[in-house]
Structure 1
Amino acid sequence: MGKKKVLIVTQEMEPYTNLSIVSKIARELPNHITKEGMDIRILMPRFGTINERRHRLHEVVRLSGMNIIVDEDDYPLIIKVASLPGARLQVYFLDNDEFFRRKQIFKDKDDNIFQDNTERMVFFCKGVMETVRKFGWPPDIIHCHGWMTSLIPLYLKKAYKDDPIFRNAKLIYSIYESPFEKELEDRFLEKASINNLEEGDLKSYLNGEGLDLHLGALKYADASILGDPGLEDDEKLLELLKSQAAPYHMPQSENLEEVVAGYMDFYNELTDETVPE
C-alpha cells in the first residue's frame, strides 16, 4: 500500500495570515503528518493580506483556468503556490480578484462584515473540490479547518459522491468559533447550492433558529475534532458534538504540539490502520 494521502483545507495558516488558533494548528499539522510518512497537500484562500512577493507565490497555470459558478454567476479560479517556510511542502492558494483582492479577510477596515462572505465561502469550498479533481490525487483523509470550510462535508457526500477521486476519502471537520452566521443567512440555501444539490440537503445547516454551520458540517463529516480548546466549556456545542453518530476527538492537552500529535492517532483510527497492541 502507498503512502496515506492527507488533504488539509484551512481558511487560515501561519505565516500567511494573522495568528489565530486555526492558523497555528494548520501550521503545526504538516510537521506531524510528514513525520508519520504521509503525503500531504494544503489548500487555503489567497486573501489580499498575503504578500505574494514576500512569500513567493506564483501561479500554477496547469491548475488555473476553471470557472466556479456561485449564485448563477461565473468566477475564474486562479491557483497559486508557495513553499512553506521551514518545510519541504507546498501550499496551494485559491484566488479570485472579486473575492480575495481586498486587503482584509472577513471584515472591512471599519470592522463591518463583508456582505459577500457566503459567496466567498461557496467559491472556496467548490474550488477546493475542483482543484483536487484537477490534481488527480485521491485523498484518504480530508481535514477541514474553520467555518469557511464547513460546506465541504456536504459537497463531498452529495455533489461529488460519485467522483472516483473522493471515493475513499474520510472527512474530518475541526470545530472552531463561527462568528458570522447571522450575517451569512441571507439566501444561504440558494447561494450554497451547487451542481444538483437538493434543498433538503442544505437544510441540515439550519437549526430551527437560524444558520448553524457546525450542525450541517457534522451531519456529513465522517469524524470531528474540537479544534479550539477554548470551546470546551460550550455546553451546547459539546452536546451537538456528542449527539453525532460519527467519532469525535477532544484534545487532552493545552500544548499545541501534543494536541496535534494526538490527531495522528485519530487519523489512523479513522482509516482502520492502527497496529493492534
Structure 2
Amino acid sequence: METNKVLYISQEITPYLPDSPMAELSQKLPQGIQEKGNEVRTFMPKYGCIKERRNQLHEVIRLSGLNIVIDDSDHPLIIKVATLQPARMQVYFIDNEDYFLRGQTAKDLETRLSPEDNDERIMFYVRGVAETVKKLRWDPTLVHCSGWVSALAPIYLKKIYVEDPAFQNAKVVYSLFDDKFEGTLDERMMEKLKLEGFSDKDLASIAGNPVDWKALNKLAIDYSDGIIQASPEIDPELKEYIEKSGKKFLPYPGEEGYVDKYAEFYAQL
C-alpha cells in the first residue's frame, strides 16, 4: 500500500523525556519517514514532568476544549504542540488535569506515579489522539502505535472509528517493546471499555482475567495489521502469539538503517 500519511501514536519521545531506546526510536523514525517525502503527525502524552517552557510547548486552542467521557465522567482534552528542530517536525501532546500532573509535582511518569488510573489514562490518550486527528481533517493511510500506552489504539481504530472517514482506510501497525509494567490494570477495565461501545466479542482476549501487560499487548496484536519487534528481545509468549496470529511481522530491524526497513514493511501492508 502507499503510505504517504503516517500517524505515530507514541508512548515517549526524546528530547521531551530522558533517552531510552523507545524514546529515541519514536523521534528518529518519524523524522526519517518524513524525510522520505511522507506527511507525518506525531503524538505523545503530556506527562507532568515535561518542561513546557524549556521545550517551547504551547496550547492549540482550536484543537482543545472537547470533553471526553470515560466511565461516565467528563475529562477536558487539552492539546499542546512543539516543533522538533532541525527536522521541523511537529509533536502534539495530549493533556488533561485528571490524568497528567502539573509542573514540579510530577517527579516521574504518571503511569508509574498513579498506576491505578492507567486504564483510564490510556483510554483517554488514544481517544484524544483520534479526536484531534479528526479535527485536523487529516486522513492517515497508516497508524503506527509504539509502547503499551498506545496498545488500545488498534481496537479503537478497528471498532469505534472504523467508519470514520479519517481512519476507514488506515492500516495499523503496533511496535512491541520490552517495556513490561508490573501488576494489572483496574479490574473494572472491561466494564469501562464496554461503556465505550465495545462488545464482549471485541474484548474476548482480555475477558475473565485481570488485564496485565501481556493481555494488553495481545489485544493490540489482535487488532493490528502488522507487528514490529522493536526491542532486541521480546516476551517469548507474545512472540509465539504473533506467530500464531498469522499477522505480518517484522523481526527486530537493528539499530542502523532501520528507517528503510520500516518503510518497506509499511509498503507490504
Point out where structure 2 has 5 or more consecutive residues left out of the alignment.
none
2:190 touches 2:207 (CA, 8 Å); kept in 1? no
Point out where structure 1 has 5 or more consecutive residues left out of the alignment.
271-277
> Alignment RMSD, CA only?
1.9
Q: Is 1:264 matched with 2:263?
A: yes
Whole-Å Cα distance in 1 between the matches of residues 3 and 173 of structure 2? 19
1:3 touches 1:37 (CA, 8 Å); kept in 2? no
Whole-Å Cα distance in 1 between the matches of residues 15 and 145 of structure 2? 18
| Per-residue deviation, 1:181 | 6.0
| Per-residue deviation, 1:128 | 1.1
Moved over 4 A (4+): 206-210
Query: Given the superposition, is the C-alpha separation of residues 76 and 252 from structure 1 closer, same or farther in structure 2, using an over 3 Å criterion?
Result: closer
| Per-residue deviation, 1:159 | 0.8
Q: Is 1:172 matched with 2:177?
A: no
Query: Could you say what secondary structure the match of 1:14 adopts?
Result: coil
| Per-residue deviation, 1:206 | 4.6
Write out aligned runs for 1:196-215 (5 A).
196-206=197-207, 211=212, 212-215=215-218
Query: Given the superposition, is the C-alpha separation of residues 72 and 177 from structure 1 closer, same or farther in structure 2, using an over 3 Å criterion?
Result: farther
For residues 76-128 of structure 1, what are the alpha-carbon distances to aligned partners after superposition, in whole Å with 9 as ceiling and x for unaligned? Answer: 000000001321111000100111125121223xxxx5211111111101111
Query: Given the superposition, is the C-alpha separation of residues 252 and 197 from structure 1 closer, same or farther in structure 2, using an over 3 Å criterion?
Result: closer
Q: Is 1:116 matched with 2:121?
A: no
The residue identity in structure 1 corresponding to 2:205 is S
1:226 touches 1:250 (CA, 8 Å); kept in 2? yes
Q: Is 1:125 matched with 2:126?
A: yes
Query: Given the superposition, is the C-alpha separation of residues 196 and 207 from structure 1 closer, same or farther in structure 2, using an over 3 Å criterion?
Result: closer
TM-score, normalising length from structure 1? 0.88
| Per-residue deviation, 1:264 | 1.0
Write out aligned runs for 1:56-67 (5 A).
56-67=56-67
Give the match for residue 219 of structure 2.
216
Query: Could you say what secondary structure the match of 2:68 adopts?
Result: strand
Give the match for residue 275 of structure 1.
none
1:11 touches 1:148 (CA, 8 Å); kept in 2? yes
The residue identity in structure 2 corresponding to 1:68 is I
Query: Given the superposition, is the C-alpha separation of residues 244 and 207 from structure 1 closer, same or farther in structure 2, using an over 3 Å criterion?
Result: farther
Question: Which shifted more, 209-218 or 71-80?
Answer: 209-218
Whole-Å Cα distance in 2 between the matches of residues 246 and 230 of structure 1? 19
| Per-residue deviation, 1:59 | 0.6
Give the match for residue 112 of structure 2.
107
Match of 2:228 among 225, 228, 251: 225
Whole-Å Cα distance in 1 between the matches of residues 249 and 138 of structure 2? 26
| Per-residue deviation, 1:10 | 0.3
1:118 touches 1:192 (CA, 8 Å); kept in 2? no
Query: Could you say what secondary structure the match of 2:80 adopts?
Result: strand
Whole-Å Cα distance in 2 between the matches of residues 153 and 30 of structure 1? 19
Query: Given the superposition, is the C-alpha separation of residues 210 and 118 from structure 1 closer, same or farther in structure 2, using an over 3 Å criterion?
Result: closer
Question: Which shifted more, 234-243 or 71-80?
Answer: 234-243
Whole-Å Cα distance in 2 between the matches of residues 240 and 147 of structure 1? 16
Whole-Å Cα distance in 1 between the matches of residues 27 and 208 of structure 2? 32
TM-score, normalising length from structure 2? 0.91
Query: Could you say what secondary structure the match of 1:53 adopts?
Result: helix
| Per-residue deviation, 1:39 | 0.3
Query: Could you say what secondary structure the match of 2:14 adopts?
Result: coil
For residues 222-268 of structure 1, what are the alpha-carbon distances to aligned partners after superposition, in whole Å with 9 as ceiling and x for unaligned? Answer: 1110111132xx32121111111221101343x2x323331111111
Query: Could you say what secondary structure the match of 1:40 adopts?
Result: strand
2:250 touches 2:265 (CA, 8 Å); kept in 1? yes
Give the match for residue 148 of structure 1.
149
Give the match for residue 83 of structure 2.
83
| Per-residue deviation, 1:207 | 8.2
Whole-Å Cα distance in 2 between the matches of residues 239 and 180 of structure 1? 20
Query: Could you say what secondary structure the match of 1:225 adopts?
Result: strand
Write out aligned runs for 1:179-198 (5 A).
179-180=180-181, 182-198=183-199
Query: Could you say what secondary structure the match of 2:217 adopts?
Result: helix
Identity within the alignment, %: 41
| Per-residue deviation, 1:11 | 1.1
Count of residues paired in the alignment: 261
